[in-house]
Structure 1
Amino acid sequence: MKNSLKSLSLLTVALVMAACGQTPSATAPTTPGASTPMPAGLRSLAAVPGKWFVELEGDPTALGAQSVGAQQASFRALAAQRGVTYQEVASYSTLFNGFSVEAGEAEINQITRLPGVLAVYPVERVERPQVQRDLNAALRPEMSSAVGMTGADIAQNELGLTGKGVKVAVMDTGIDLEHPAFRGRVVAGYDFVGDKFGSQDKATGEYDFTPVPDNNPDDCGGHGSHVAGIVGGNDAAAGFKGVAPEVSFGAYKVFGCEGSTQSDIMLAAMERAYKDGMQVLNMSIGASFQWPEYPTAKAASRLVKKGMVVTVSAGNSGTSGQFATGAPSLGENVISTASVDNVKLELSNFTINPGGSKIGYQPATGAPDAPSGLTLPITKAPGSTPATANDGCVAYEANSLAGKAVLIQRGTCAFRIKVLNAQKAGAKAVIIYNNQPGFISPTVAPSSASDNVAVEIPVVSILQDDGKKIDSLIESGVSMTFNADTQSFANPTGNAISSFSSYGASPDLELKPDIAAPGGLIKSAYPLTQEASGYAVLSGTSMAAPHVAGVAALMLQAYPTIQAKDMRTRLMNTANLRWFLNGGTLVEGLPTYVQLQGAGMVDVVSAYNNTVTVTPSKLSLGESDTFATRRKVVVLKNTGARREVYTAFHYPALTLGGTTLAPRPFDQYASMTINGQQAELDSKGNGGVEIVVPPFGEVELNLVVTPPAGAPDRSQYGGYVYLQSAAGNSLSVPYSGFKGDYQSIKVLGDVRIGNAVYNFPALTDDAADELYQEGEVPAALPDYTFKKVDVKDSAGKVFSVMDAPAVLANFAHQSRRVTLELLDASGAVRDTIAVYNYWGRNATNVYADATSDAFDTFAWDGKLSGGSEAPAGQYQLRLRVLKALGDESNPAHTETYTSQKFNVVR
């Protein structure tokens, strides 16, 4: 059962393996007597231990309140009748029919099998969004460049749209109620948790997850104010204006001042925002690697069904590969939003002479600021070139850099080593240039208490191309002068999808994310108590989603009767494609993966002016294992009085290949016909099919898509049905498909810690600090007494653990159903312990740090489904995993793990 072992905290300390320096082999031993000491640092953090959603079968949007209440009363009565004990934390009836409960292993196992229970899901611990904050005062991208990227500036200044009269809910860390960007505009709100929720006691190390709600959603975390500022902040004195600067806000605080929240709290806030009459809800938070059926995603879908536009960040798990988009953004008709990097940066700079050109830079953390007017000659190490990988890593000759600025390329050794070498040789400044495209924010601060050498000279970082330019001038002589003013520079990754933005598709192969918006390097409001200026620069899909929420508010002001479910269609139809970023260079005309950008970047002016909509707004083609071609129909509907003419053609995007954790591009593309005609353009851009949509009329397009034969197996392909208009209002519909047999993806993976590979699933014996990897043969069968045992960690702290078996399993991919069974001595099924539907994948199969979610825990408490204790004897645990979109009747679609035999001792 996910995260149910009370001893998980023990697994974070150094045990026998660390003490003995043992390293498990990549292949599990099969000789008798083999077992593995519990590895240090192994744990799972995603779910809240012992806390679950229980979903009942009735849809609350289709049933009346009385029927939902009757179903919930029946569940309580049946659970009591069968002796199932649990603590009800909250009940839900508007967007979700069920409860969040606290329950032990035996109780939740029994609940999964009660009549009327549709499913149970772990309540996830939702971490505060891991946005990137630039602490360097020199980096100041303006919000004006971000709103200009989507046409929101034109909507404000030429179309007169400000979002006035539209109520936008921000579910986050709250909003700074005294900030001039919001003062007097927060018309509803609630604090569900209190300031201390999620905080850690520094003395005991314990976390406080006791909610202390009140009616004051003031922001002490910062993230919510930044998000709200993007939606519609308005501070004339500071020259700041968000996307929809006259909206009214609802502030729903689900985070304390620090730490995480929980998904059942999010669900309560969603219901509250609906009851408060909010028209748009932005959630720049979520749980990655989930299913559309997860409660927060399902509730978000129902919000749209009830008339609220819902925008959600797709997630910042770009480094975790494919199928990473999170809930609630996976919900149907929810607008899942990817991030695009801002096009402009305001940077501190220096002038180089001769030539007088200005070079933008970022100052390094841990170094003093560069004094304005300081002029220095620039030099470099003898023999250094842009091809020198270890530039600056070797000590310079004494005093060889005296009175000079030294140019050093990034690479091989730490920035601090490079800078201290230069400083020791007499350098008065260091210029670090990147060894790849893009800006870097280096730190030269000490990494340990014993490292007490101070960096006393300015250290700045510049772009790779600027570094190469300076390098070419050094031989003939070049100097630099630090300037006092800042200047606007083009961001080299501007207009590209941000590197942190999450990949789709969803586990049921629905195309996600849906759309993109500026989210990389965004300046917006920040609590005055934390930032004297009231503004900060953050990056994340957290910043992209509120931009779309602001756009939705502008559209609602212009078209108050637009249905929530139609908002996504209108925005996706008119979005602009983003191009592939190849080694830091945008390849114009080559759309990046559909599974990364969806329809492309939102364009509010095009959405406002457009009178033709295309439905469905996206096409999810599924896996190609069972079809040679896929046929789809899209409908163009014209609500205007003018005849619209389009040239329809196929615009393929890059294919997403490689593995789940290491995706890479392939230039193999699907082909398409439209209405029986070839839809591919020739090498000169000619071709396509003419489509005429009469005034107030409809036209059907019959599409036939053939998957790319040359693409690698298990790749995701995609592209666009592009409808080019001579009148300027072009439209597109993205499509996504999976090449090959989707069920061939392995679900149960291994876990790597450092260079050690652990063969998972694995049987655990917490009381003995033992881990039995798959294939290991114990010298003697482990005994379990189901009694509490005291054990000590390496620091001597005593923990009480249950002497009970559990299976640790890494989910390298999402699973449709997980079944835990008890086998008797003969290998026959003795009992079904639990059944879990729609199980999310783990963040990674590599445990890297304290926030990794490398595995889930499925424990057995020694009881049978009827509540009686299993008698003494020999047993095994078996985990059966039905793959995503799998067919239960096909054995190849189920993965099975059977543990080692063990003894139950009574």
Structure 2
Amino acid sequence: MNIKTNPKPMIPWIGVAPEVTFGAYRIFGCEGRVGTDIILAAMEMAFNDGMDIINMSLYGGPAFKNNPMAILGEKLIAHGMNIAGCAGNDGAQGVSMIADTALGDSATSVASFDNAYGSHFTVSYAGGKYPYNPSVAWGNSRPIELPGTTMLFPLFDKSGVLQNGCDAADYTGLDVKGKVVLLFGDLTRCGSIARGNIAKSLDVAGVLAVSTPFGMALLSGIADLPMASLESRGGEAIIAAYKKHPKNVLGWSKTVSSVMVEGGGAPADMSSYGVDGDLRSKPDIGGPGGNIYSAYPRAKGSYALLSGTSMATPYYAGAQALYYQLTKSKPSGLNVRRVFKNTATISKNWGSKTYTSAAKQGAGLINVWNALTTTTHASPDHIDLLDSANLRKTQQITIKNVGKKTETYTLSHTPADALNSYSKGNVFPHPRPIIEADYASVSFSANKVKIPAGKSVKVTITFIEPKAGDDKQFPLYSGYVVATPATEGSPSVHVPYIGLKGDVRNMPIMDTDLGLPALVVTQANGTVINVPTPNFVFNFKTAAPTVVVRYGSHTPDGTIRVHDAKTKNFLGYVFTSWWGAAFGPTGRNANLDANGKYDARQYDWRGDVWAAANATAPIQLGPGSYNLVVANQKRLTKGAYPGDYEVFDLGTIVVSA
């Protein structure tokens, strides 16, 4: 196979954007955290330069299929290009955090699976050796180098429970200077940046975070502080050894060694969950993305062990090019995606007997050999059942025999985990969904079908929602419809489905558990205070009313509306230089930001409004009394205001100048 790269990046604004050639096929890849405008420009430039495949390993928030990148992607795909985008690394944030770069119907959203083996540096303690994953800030290819006299300090509370180090109070009265602190690595409580800053202020020698529930987390970390994640089993072994002999010291390897990775072969814990804002089945498929030995900048060692959906997505793009090369054809991206999804390997949870939700792994782990040897196609490549109020109870799939002889197929159903994010009556989804055995009932118009070579048959499928599961907790249920050929050794094919039990119109949008939305005051010096009384008087030159919102769910139209307090007339939508006009499709917030604080949006309003959705520029309001209203459209509604909206009236403000 002829593989070559263009050493000159095509798009200078993006961190990495090389062209890769697989035989006759050209792949354009980009990696980084950039703005929408730059991503759109990169996609268009790649298309105009004749690229066959775009690999978008870009960070993006959760959204709907009508986001600008998805719309452009669909247009490019319609003209012959194939687009794959990473699902995102927000698995610790809960459901519906799928990234927006591949949310088009024809684009492919790629989840990450952990490699079964990895090359890791190791830390030794009390005779045992344990692999670790250095933080990004420390450098993935850089071993931790600390004196062999460095002692370990597990951050226990008074009852002996390992703490996460998210609060400075966790260290009260403890002498951790010059020691490596062992923390509980639950990233749903706070991020590694916040923990690192606290630890560094106490002059610790380093930080080891024990991953949960398994594997080795990818930590951001902070500069100049050795930070790394440990596998859960490694952390448990170290804690047990510490309790026997607390004066043991740590040793650090200078070279990597090959180890079997905890959680290997299963969907990566950090890989983002679907579904998208339209309750569609995303991600589409998974690729190897955990513990991947990858190219890296020469100044940083040329190679590094990396993890993320940014590693899985180029695997899928390369597999697609290889498929074209070996089949001597170039079907559309949608058709080759169907082949890969049909023949992927459905994965179970690591250490479990149940299958991982399709909202986590899509159709499963890509299996190129199955894709090349299959003689069966099943379409469509996914089924969106939507919610209880809009249940698509009856569906059809088409099974086509592309082999050279008549084949008999047996139809069956493989259920997968249901994900419950609202089990405690909470309005913001759990960062780690609760797994439930809420399985749909599936029946077929025919349990067996006989299909001549080159022919196809339509099979009608009837879905009945799970009996288990509380519809007021909105569990996401899923599974796979499977067609197994009678010929021994022929790969079976399958189609994933996802549904939501409950009425999504009743799913809470704003995080009212935190008292949001709320109106606060941002003063000229940057100080933020709560608005003390209704009819608070503002002067836009010295203080700005700030609307704080926190989305626990997607909304097709997230608005902050301004009304004349006396006439009740609608004047427009709040407009800020940072967020723009406050209307339109809006994805849910993450649980925590990079600093370990609750993620929320703040609209610092200085009087500008966007008068209507089709306006071309904001206008400035003068002195007067105004009523601010946060109104978010409920999903799968027509958008009639106010009936189809979750509405919060923030009261009246008075502007003096």
Task: Give the TM-score of the pair, scaled to structure 2.
Answer: 0.77
Q: Relative to 1, partners in 2 of residues 1:749 and 1:416: Cα closer, same or farther, differing over 3 Å?
A: closer
Q: Which residue is equivalent to 1:553?
A: 321
Q: Which residue is equivalent to 2:425?
A: none
Q: Which residue is equivalent to 2:517?
A: 760
SS in 2 for 1:898: strand
From 570, 577, 581, the equivalent of 2:339 is: 570
**Distance of 1:602 and 1:189 partners within structure 2:** 28
Alignment of 1:777 onto 2:533: yes
Alignment of 1:861 onto 2:608: yes
Map residues 812-851 of structure 1 onto 2, 5 A cutoff.
812-826=552-566, 828-833=568-573, 838-844=584-590, 849=595
Map residues 727-742 of structure 1 onto 2, 5 A cutoff.
727-742=489-504
**Distance of 2:219 and 2:610 partners within structure 1:** 55
Q: Relative to 1, partners in 2 of residues 1:505 and 1:486: Cα closer, same or farther, differing over 3 Å?
A: closer
Q: Which residue is equivalent to 1:707?
A: 465
Alignment of 1:295 onto 2:68: yes
**Distance of 1:277 and 1:637 partners within structure 2:** 32
From 414, 426, 440, the equivalent of 1:651 is: 414
Q: Relative to 1, partners in 2 of residues 1:345 and 1:370: Cα closer, same or farther, differing over 3 Å?
A: farther
1:525–1:536 contact (8 Å) kept in structure 2: yes
**Distance of 1:506 and 1:468 partners within structure 2:** 39
Q: Relative to 1, partners in 2 of residues 1:810 and 1:431: Cα closer, same or farther, differing over 3 Å?
A: closer
From 283, 286, 306, the equivalent of 1:538 is: 306
Counterpart AA for 1:849? N
Q: Which residue is equivalent to 1:26?
A: none
SS in 2 for 1:544: helix
CA offsets 1:288-334 (integer angstroms, 9 cap, x no match): 11111011111112221111111100111112211111212111111
2:565–2:625 contact (8 Å) kept in structure 1: yes
Map residues 684-699 of structure 1 onto 2, 5 A cutoff.
689-699=447-457
1:575–1:600 contact (8 Å) kept in structure 2: yes
**Distance of 2:42 and 2:221 partners within structure 1:** 42
CA offsets 1:443-466 (integer angstroms, 9 cap, x no match): 999999xxxxxx9xxx99676269
1:643–1:693 contact (8 Å) kept in structure 2: yes
2:517–2:630 contact (8 Å) kept in structure 1: no
Q: Which residue is equivalent to 1:128?
A: none
Larger gyration radius, structure 1 or structure 2: 1
Q: Relative to 1, partners in 2 of residues 1:772 and 1:604: Cα closer, same or farther, differing over 3 Å?
A: same
SS in 2 for 1:700: strand
Counterpart AA for 1:310? I
SS in 1 for 2:651: coil
**Distance of 1:312 and 1:363 partners within structure 2:** 25
**Distance of 1:432 and 1:875 partners within structure 2:** 49
Counterpart AA for 1:283? M
Q: Which residue is equivalent to 1:675?
A: 445
Q: Which residue is equivalent to 2:647?
A: 896
Alignment of 1:334 onto 2:90: no
Task: Give the TM-score of the pair, scaled to structure 1.
Answer: 0.57
From 376, 380, 383, the equivalent of 1:619 is: 383
Counterpart AA for 2:608? D
SS in 1 for 2:102: coil
Structure 1 residue 667 displacement after superposition = 1.1
Q: Which residue is equivalent to 2:189?
A: none
CA offsets 1:545-564 (integer angstroms, 9 cap, x no match): 00000001001112323122
From 477, 480, 485, the equivalent of 1:720 is: 480
**Distance of 2:561 and 2:631 partners within structure 1:** 8
SS in 1 for 2:497: strand
Q: Relative to 1, partners in 2 of residues 1:186 and 1:711: Cα closer, same or farther, differing over 3 Å?
A: same
1:621–1:737 contact (8 Å) kept in structure 2: yes
**Distance of 2:610 and 2:235 partners within structure 1:** 68
**Distance of 2:470 and 2:250 partners within structure 1:** 51
1:824–1:875 contact (8 Å) kept in structure 2: yes
**Distance of 1:810 and 1:750 partners within structure 2:** 9
Higher RCO, 1 or 2 (CA under 8 Å, sep at least 6)?
1
2:418–2:437 contact (8 Å) kept in structure 1: yes
SS in 2 for 1:653: strand
Alignment of 1:438 onto 2:215: yes
Q: Which residue is equivalent to 1:6?
A: none
* Structure 1 range deviating more: 719-728 or 848-857: 848-857
**Distance of 2:223 and 2:341 partners within structure 1:** 48
Q: Which residue is equivalent to 2:167?
A: none
Q: Relative to 1, partners in 2 of residues 1:188 and 1:389: Cα closer, same or farther, differing over 3 Å?
A: closer
**Distance of 2:211 and 2:571 partners within structure 1:** 60
Map residues 208-219 of structure 1 onto 2, 5 A cutoff.
none
Q: Which residue is equivalent to 2:625?
A: 874
Counterpart AA for 2:362? G
SS in 1 for 2:556: strand
SS in 2 for 1:607: helix
1:825–1:876 contact (8 Å) kept in structure 2: yes
CA offsets 1:753-812 (integer angstroms, 9 cap, x no match): xxxx453142645459686869x633x53134x5xx3x6xxxxxxxxxxx5655333222
When the two chains are superposed, the root-mean-square deviation of aligned CA atoms in Å is 4.9
SS in 1 for 2:281: coil
1:339–1:541 contact (8 Å) kept in structure 2: yes
Q: Give the fraction of aligned pairs with identical amino acids, expressed as a percent.
A: 23
2:286–2:362 contact (8 Å) kept in structure 1: yes
2:419–2:477 contact (8 Å) kept in structure 1: yes
Structure 1 residue 488 displacement after superposition = 2.7
* Structure 1 range deviating more: 570-579 or 459-468: 459-468
2:185–2:212 contact (8 Å) kept in structure 1: no
SS in 2 for 1:281: strand
Aligned residues: 602
Structure 1 residue 535 displacement after superposition = 0.9
**Distance of 2:382 and 2:234 partners within structure 1:** 39
SS in 1 for 2:638: coil
1:187–1:250 contact (8 Å) kept in structure 2: no
CA offsets 1:208-250 (integer angstroms, 9 cap, x no match): xxxxxxxxxxx8x4x557xx7xx77xxxxxxxxxxx5x57656
Q: Which residue is equivalent to 1:597?
A: 361
Structure 1 residue 580 displacement after superposition = 1.4
Alignment of 1:883 onto 2:653: no
SS in 1 for 2:101: coil
**Distance of 1:486 and 1:665 partners within structure 2:** 36
**Distance of 1:853 and 1:444 partners within structure 2:** 19
Q: Which residue is equivalent to 2:77?
A: 304
CA offsets 1:74-121 (integer angstroms, 9 cap, x no match): xxxxxxxxxxxxxxxxxxxxxxxxxxxxxxxxxxxxxxxxxxxxxxxx
CA offsets 1:396-430 (integer angstroms, 9 cap, x no match): 9xxxxxxxxx9998669999999xxxx99xxxxx9
Alignment of 1:587 onto 2:352: yes
**Distance of 1:783 and 1:575 partners within structure 2:** 59
**Distance of 1:706 and 1:844 partners within structure 2:** 32
Counterpart AA for 2:6? V
